[in-house]
Amino acid sequence: MSGVRGSGGRGRHRRTGKPERGTGGGALRRGLSIAVVLIGVFISAVDMLIVNIAFPSMQESFPSATLTGLSWVMSAYAITFAALLLPSGRWADRSGRKQVFLLGLGLFTGVSAVCAAAPSLEVLVAARAVQGVGAAMMAPSSLGLLLGLFAPEKRGIAIGLWTAVGGVGSAAALPLGGLLAEIDWRWVFVVNLPLGTLAVLIGAWSLRRSVKEEGPVPDLLGSAVLAVSVAAVVATIAQGQAWGWTSGEVAGLSVAGALGLFWTVRRSLGHPAPVFEPELLKVRSVALGNVATGFFFMGVGAMALSTIMFLTQVWQHSTLRGAMEIAPGPVCAALCAVPSGILAVRHGVHLVGPVGAAAFGGGGLWWAYALDGTPDFTGHFLPGSIVGGIGFGLILPALAASATLSLPPERVATGTGMSSMSRQIGMAVGVSVVAAVLVGRPGLTSFRAAFLIMAGAAFVSGLALYAIGPVRRPAPTGTAAVPQPAPLTRATTR
């Protein structure tokens, strides 16, 4: 990240100390810029989970589609999002964050129209993969733009806003999706059109062009191989039951996925701009924090799919009613997120995070053993939702802190990108695993297994966070926590 502040009239060139070209402007322009960036963060976070609650409605439009086939509507988005996060961040640094952000937002918005009009499941899945590309372009450039709109001493506020809006988007996805899917599942995508179009038009005027950085070209080949490898692993999990776990298709995809992931890791060790930075994984908190993030969001993916399918298929509730019954969990998560962030900084992510993981996993255990075929929202479903929501709110700031607190300021954005990549991959795997379970084991037994998967993934996440131990912040001056890259040369202002 360049760290150059491009609005508000305070930005100065790091080498010359002179004001950046294009700085200045009033509070209105700065406020609109912040709003535009946060809109992009919000809709990309919402679209990660909102489709899950629309699956029952989608099955009516595509009656021949299986649940594993529908799961690709979410997985295709998550895979391309995850694989292109870090290369997109480097591209934004080289080409200008405003340009990359608006291009990503425009692509995301335009493809939403294709998703809404998709005549078949295959077209919808392909469009969702492209939509994930747009989201990946927005995410890292949005953080860079937001940091540039705040003074250095208020950088924590910018990161907090960025994280909080993404969390609110994820929490609001299921209730919002339920309301829209009650009309038609296509409205889940139609709602992006006015928001995205308005944000692009305002952002073209309000956002400032950032200073470009010279540096190595991002590893697009490595990103492509990573995306294909993760897709192969997800396909193996999702289709294993239908194809047969000992079939040639499963064996071939498993080998291809494993070899692709191994090749990506080896390539990252020597590439000047790798998919992920091996140096960061030498930091204990970052490495274990990414493990914790991947497993926790595997549990979140399991929860998001299994709860709405249970409410609509076993209890035969409408999609709208199911969405409202799920809503208390996200509300509890939102209420707990801010105090949890304070507690995580004060007492350590290795203490607060595992408590959140245990609570989230406890919600899954409650559902696994309390839910049955007799509808009882207050007595059976609501307790698990409240406990799980509290756990979600407690662990989310701890996961974000574990990925960034040990890093020097100039590496925070990269650490955040790696954490986001782990989150998307974990979510895709979780949804695929549960889809395979629900297809392969009919009845209440399959849902109990899905809730146990949610709990088990959360408990593994808590153990990884506990193993981090106390997280040390890097010293303000002097040596940093990780080897520093060579200084980047500034190019002309775009």
Query: Would you kindly state where each structural domain of the chain is located, as residue ranges?
Result: 1-217, 220-270, 281-475
User: Which among 215, 213, 219 is positioned nearest to 270, based on CA atoms?
Assistant: 219
pLDDT of residue 440: 59
Length of the chain: 494
pLDDT of residue 2: 39
* Cβ neighbour number for residue 154 with a 10 Å cutoff: 12
pLDDT of residue 55: 83
Token reading at 39: 């809109």
Answer yes or no: CATH 1.20.1250.20 is held by domain 281-475: yes
Enumerate the H helices of 184-219 as residue ranges: 187-190, 192-206
pLDDT of residue 74: 84
Phi–psi pair at 483, nearest 5 degrees = -55, 135
pLDDT of residue 134: 92
pLDDT of residue 352: 87
pLDDT of residue 51: 84
d(CA 411, CA 492): 23
- The rounded average pLDDT for each run of 10 residues, N- to C-terminus, in the chain (494 residues) is 40 42 63 89 83 83 86 85 78 79 93 94 94 87 79 70 74 79 88 92 84 66 83 79 80 90 87 78 86 94 89 87 86 79 77 93 96 92 94 85 71 73 86 82 84 96 90 50 38 36
Residue with tokens 């705040």: 150
CA 327 to chain centre: 20
User: Which among 29, 334, 381 is positioned nearest to 207, based on CA atoms?
Assistant: 29
pLDDT of residue 348: 78
For 13, 52, 192, 259, the CA distances from 240, given in Å and listed in that order, are: 55, 21, 34, 19
Decide: pTM greater than 0.75: yes
pLDDT of residue 376: 93
454 bridge partner residues: none
CATH architecture designation of domain 1-217? Up-down Bundle (1.20)
Token reading at 42: 């919000």
pLDDT of residue 83: 78
pLDDT of residue 302: 92
d(CA 331, CA 327): 6
Per CATH, 1-217 and 281-475 having the same topology is answered: yes
pLDDT of residue 471: 65
Whether 320 and 450 have beta carbons less than 8 Å apart is answered as: no
